[in-house]
């Protein structure tokens, strides 16, 4: 099935073809405008990314990022989540319309800004752990455990492991604090990413002004000199604001909204305050801590929370057009609101 694959959003009202940027001739990358913003798209078969092999997803991700980062050479671009499709031009325009106020607000925040990702890793983790083993508190615990007549138990080994981990985590926090302190004057925002393995000290995205990139690089190099031979600092960028403002489009069905409304015992219209009040009241009744004898209490509570989050997202999408902040859950009012455009959590 043919569809429009959306890479990102830029500020232009022009219909533009990006193939002069070096993209392949068989995959035209072009814009679909709406007012003074445009979606950067290509014609593509509709693919369900959750069902394809991981190596193929990696290739799709690489292509997705290559296009976004090439367009970034000429435009500030708001990246869309990997695998964002619209069925046709009309649906692309609806996405642009639904998200217009949000897109303009994001552009205000990221114009002339870039993301720099900084990864720090121990060059030799074993040496660091050996060094920790020589610290006073670790030595004292070792001696205490060795002197036990019954020998060292599994629980003792866990206790030792936890102590070493706590000290290692404090070292990580100290280094993270140092880069934060050094870069505070040039950093607008930051996002910490998950650590992929024990060698990784931190993995953080920094949002900075383009004009401050040189200063930021110098701060990282200062840390490199400070921890020479012990830690490797690697910068990736400049990048679009992937970690801060990647946008996703969510298609929802009427039966999902109707079920969520019923779970919160709401009428066919509601405000945000009414949704929040209904959730608080139901959550108080169904919280697992109040229903210890019920085997499905946690499942019911999770369903309630899921319903609350869906209705919040739905209402926030409708609020862009609603004047009184009241949302209709009637089926006849649903069609135009079935697309939710939001910044990815």
Domain boundaries, position 208: 114-244
pLDDT value of position 117: 92
Give the rounded distance of the alpha carbon of 1 from its chain centre.
29
Residues 229 and 282 in one domain: no
Question: Do 240 and 120 share a structural domain?
Answer: yes
Q: What is the mean pLDDT of residues 141-163?
A: 73
Q: Of 88, 111, 134, at which residue does a domain stop?
A: 111
Mean pLDDT, all residues of the chain: 83
Same domain for 83 and 159, yes or no, is no
Exposure of 263 by Cβ count < 10 A (0-12 exposed, 13-18 middle, 19+ buried)?
buried
Mean pLDDT in residue range 234-255: 88
The confidence score (pLDDT) of residue 135 equals 78
Looking at the structure, do residues 132 and 219 belong to the same domain, yes or no? Answer: yes
Q: Which of 244, 278, 307 is the last residue of a domain?
A: 244
pLDDT at position 78: 95
145 closest CA partner among 127, 124, 164, 159: 159
3-state secondary structure of 94: helix
Which residue carries 């020589």 as its tokens? Answer: 134
Query: Given this model, what pLDDT does residue 21 score?
Result: 55
Q: What are the start-end ranges of the E strands in 180-338?
A: 187-192, 200-209, 231-239, 247-251, 269-270, 327-328
Q: Find the CATH number of the domain harbouring 270.
A: 1.10.287.110
**Is the same domain home to 231 and 329?**
no
Phi/psi for 293 (5° steps) reads: -85, -10
Structural domain total, the chain: 3
Please, which pLDDT band fits residue 322 given cuts at 50, 70 and 90?
low
Contact 116, 239 (CB under 8 A): yes
pLDDT value of position 111: 93
Query: Which two structure tokens, joined as six digits, stand for 343?
Result: 């910044």
Residue 298: its H or E element: helix 297-319
What integer pLDDT is reported at residue 321 of this predicted model? 52
* Mean pLDDT lowest among 68-77, 253-262, 289-298: 289-298
107 with 120, same domain: the answer is no
Out of 33-42, 150-159, 213-222, which region has the weakest mean confidence (pLDDT)?
150-159
The DSSP letter of residue 21 is G
Q: Percent of the chain, pLDDT > 90?
A: 20
Question: Given this model, what pLDDT does residue 292 score?
Answer: 67
Mean pLDDT of 36-41: 94
Q: How many CB atoms sit inside 10 A of residue 95's CB?
A: 25
Same domain, 30 and 89: yes
Structure tokens at 73: 């050479």
Provide mean pLDDT across the span 311-334: 71
Residue 276 has pLDDT above 70, yes or no: yes
Per-residue pLDDT band for 205 (boundaries 50, 70, 90) equals very high
pLDDT for res 335: 63
Find the CATH number of the domain harbouring 236. Answer: 3.30.70.260
Residue 289, φ and ψ in degrees, nearest 5: -65, -20
Q: Which residues face 187 on adjacent strands?
A: 208
Q: What is the mean pLDDT of residues 83-98?
A: 89
The H or E element containing residue 126 is helix 125-133
Would you state the pLDDT for residue 87? Answer: 86
89-95, long-range: CB within 8 Å, 24+ apart, which pairs?
A: 89/4, 89/32, 91/4, 91/339, 92/4, 92/6, 92/32, 92/34, 92/39, 92/41, 93/32, 93/34, 94/339, 95/6, 95/39, 95/249, 95/339, 95/341
- pLDDT surpassing 80 at residue 23: no
Residues 86 and 28 in one domain: yes
Q: Which of 158, 77, 60, 82 lies closest to 344, judged by CA?
A: 82
pLDDT of residue 256: 84
Quick one: pLDDT at residue 323? Answer: 57
Of the three residues 94, 111, 128, the one that is the final residue of a domain is 111
Mean pLDDT in residue range 169-174? 83
My answer on whether 206 and 217 are in the same domain is yes
Query: Whole-model pTM above 0.85?
Result: no
Query: Model confidence at 209, in pLDDT bands (50, 70, 90)?
Result: very high
Reply yes or no on whether the pLDDT at 20 is more than 70: no
- Rounded to an integer, what distance in angstroms lies between the CA atom of residue 173 and that of residue 25? 48
Same domain, 151 and 208: yes
Q: Does residue 228 carry a pLDDT above 90? A: no
* Least confident segment among 84-98, 153-167, 216-230: 153-167
Do 197 and 267 share a domain, yes or no?
A: no
Look at residue 202 in the predicted model and tell me its pLDDT: 85
Confidence of residue 76 (pLDDT cuts 50, 70, 90): very high
Q: What's the helix, strand, coil split of the chain in %, to 5? A: 50, 25, 30
Q: Are 77 and 9 in contact (CB under 8 A)?
A: yes
Which range of 98-112, 251-265, 282-296 scores highest in mean pLDDT? It is: 98-112
What letters, b where the CB count within 10 A reaches 16 and e where it falls short, cover 12-30?
eeeebebeeeebeeeeebb
Does 238 lie in the same domain as 284? no
């Amino acid at each position: 099935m043919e569809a429009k694959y959306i890479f990102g959003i830029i500020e232009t009202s022009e219909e533009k073809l990006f193939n002069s940027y070096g993209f392949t001739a068989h995959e035209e990358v072009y814009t679909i405008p709406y007012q003074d913003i445009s979606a950067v798209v290509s014609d593509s078969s509709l693919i369900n990314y959750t069902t394809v092999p991981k190596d193929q997803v990696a290739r799709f991700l690489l292509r997705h990022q290559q296009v976004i980062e090439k367009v970034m050479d000429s435009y500030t671009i708001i990246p869309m989540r990997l695998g964002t499709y619209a069925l046709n031009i009309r649906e692309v325009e609806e996405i642009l319309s639904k998200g217009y106020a949000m897109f303009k607000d994001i552009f205000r925040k990221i114009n002339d800004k870039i993301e720099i990702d900084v990864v720090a890793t121990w060059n030799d983790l074993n040496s660091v752990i050996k060094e920790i083993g020589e610290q006073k508190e670790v030595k004292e615990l070792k001696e205490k455990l060795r002197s036990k007549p019954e020998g060292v138990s599994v629980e003792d080994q866990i206790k030792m492991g936890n102590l070493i981990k706590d000290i290692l985590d404090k070292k990580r926090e100290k280094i993270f604090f140092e880069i934060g302190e050094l870069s505070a004057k040039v950093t607008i925002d930051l996002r910490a990413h998950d650590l992929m393995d024990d060698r990784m000290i931190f993995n953080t995205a920094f949002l900075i002004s383009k004009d401050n990139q040189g200063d930021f690089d110098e701060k990282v190099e200062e840390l490199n000199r400070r921890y020479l031979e012990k830690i490797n600092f690697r910068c990736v960028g400049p990048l679009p604001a992937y970690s801060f403002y990647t946008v996703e489009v969510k298609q929802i069905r009427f039966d999902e909204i109707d079920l969520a409304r019923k779970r919160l015992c709401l009428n066919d219209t509601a405000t945000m305050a009414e949704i929040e009040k209904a959730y608080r009241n139901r959550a108080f009744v169904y919280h697992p801590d109040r229903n210890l004898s019920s085997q499905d209490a946690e499942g019911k509570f999770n369903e309630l929370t899921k319903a609350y989050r869906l209705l919040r997202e739905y209402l926030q999408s409708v609020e862009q057009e609603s004047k009184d902040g009241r949302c209709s859950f009637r089926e006849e009012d649903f069609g135009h609101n079935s697309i939710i455009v939001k910044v990815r959590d």
